[in-house]
Amino acid sequence: MNHLLKAVKWNMVKTVKNPTVEDLLIAARDSGFDGITLSAPGEYSVQEVWKARDKVDLPVHNINVADHWGTRLSDPAPAVRQRALRNTLDAIQFASDVGASSILQVIGKATNRETENAAQVGERSAEQLKKAIPLAAKVGVRIACENVKNGFATSIQEWADYLDQFDSPFVGAFFDIGNHDRYDGGAPAWIRGLGYQRIIKVDVKDHHHATERNCALFEGEVKWADVRKALSEINYQGWCTAEVPGGDLEQLKGVAERMNKALGIA
């Protein structure tokens, strides 16, 4: 298996009430993860992240854009789309300031056939993201887009076409195994179809097809052997971030162990 790194998301860590960044890094390190994802803007300050990093040798590899569901790049209102772009730009700058190499950006959601449909999600989000590419390129932070059961890009070709329009190494996919296993061909087909040139990073969860709900690893129908094979075929190397129920230290250790098994990490 290619070289893969495991990360945990900040909101999975429940080792203490209201954890500090230092608490988050300690929990991630002690439960067997190689890094962590945080959220910005507004969640943490650059100073507190670096203060924690000075004490705990664990990287922040990615920043999730805060409120990208509520304040959407695809919103019908131009003023809201502008605020969403501001959140994206602030997340890019924050990522650069704390040493993260990417941001996770949900591009929007089809909420209304007339005012926020699939075509409008694609058009509006692309218009805004193109404005973010110059900053991303300047600071070296990649925009990893996610289509999360949002009524847009439910086929491999549609998602590939959306990403390819940017013609930039700074825009690609944050591929979610569980989210895409619900579609025809399952996650392995999507991994092969998108390829290493489009997949920047990977989110790791399982999916229960009967209930159409994401779930903890090995509690759904994702064919992990096929996922491992597909990742190997495209030569994917890099970060894989857990996005499953978290908990205390022992529960987080269990997540890390399941990730090792699912992804074939020694």
In the predicted structure, residue 2 carries a pLDDT above the cut 70: no
Q: What is the pLDDT of residue 249?
A: 98
DSSP state letters, 155-183: SHHHHHHHHHTT--TTEEEEEEHHHHHTS
Higher pLDDT, 185 or 227: 227
In 3D, which of 207, 129, 204, 201 has the Cα closest to residue 168? 129
Whether the Cβ atoms of residue 8 and residue 249 lie closer than 8 Å to each other? no
Q: Is 240 helix (H, G, I), strand (E, B) or coil?
A: strand
Query: Could you read off the pLDDT of 121-161 as tens digits, one per residue?
Result: 999 999 999 999 999 999 999 999 999 889 999 999 999 99
Instruction: State mean pLDDT over 72-84.
Output: 98
Q: Is 239 helix (H, G, I), strand (E, B) or coil?
A: strand
pTM over 0.95: yes
CB 189: neighbour CB atoms within 10 A? 16
- Alpha carbons 153 and 155: distance in angstroms, whole number: 5
* Confidence label for 1 from pLDDT (cuts 50, 70 and 90): very low
For 125, the enclosing helix (H) or strand (E) is helix 118-139
CB 139: neighbour CB atoms within 10 A? 13
What is the DSSP pairing of strand 60-65 with strand 206-208? unpaired
- Alpha carbons 210 and 87: distance in angstroms, whole number: 36
Tokens of 242: 């857990």
| Domains of the chain, earliest start first | 4-263 (3.20.20.150)
8, β-bridge pairs: 36, 242
Give every CB contact of residue 158 below 8 A, 6+ residues apart in sequence: 152
Tokens of 113: 């056939």
Query: Could you read off the pLDDT of 196-251 as tens digits, one per residue?
Result: 999 999 999 999 999 999 999 999 999 999 999 999 999 999 999 999 999 999 99
What is the share, in percent, of the chain residues with pLDDT greater than 90? Answer: 97
* Confidence label for 266 from pLDDT (cuts 50, 70 and 90): confident
Q: What is the pLDDT of residue 121?
A: 98
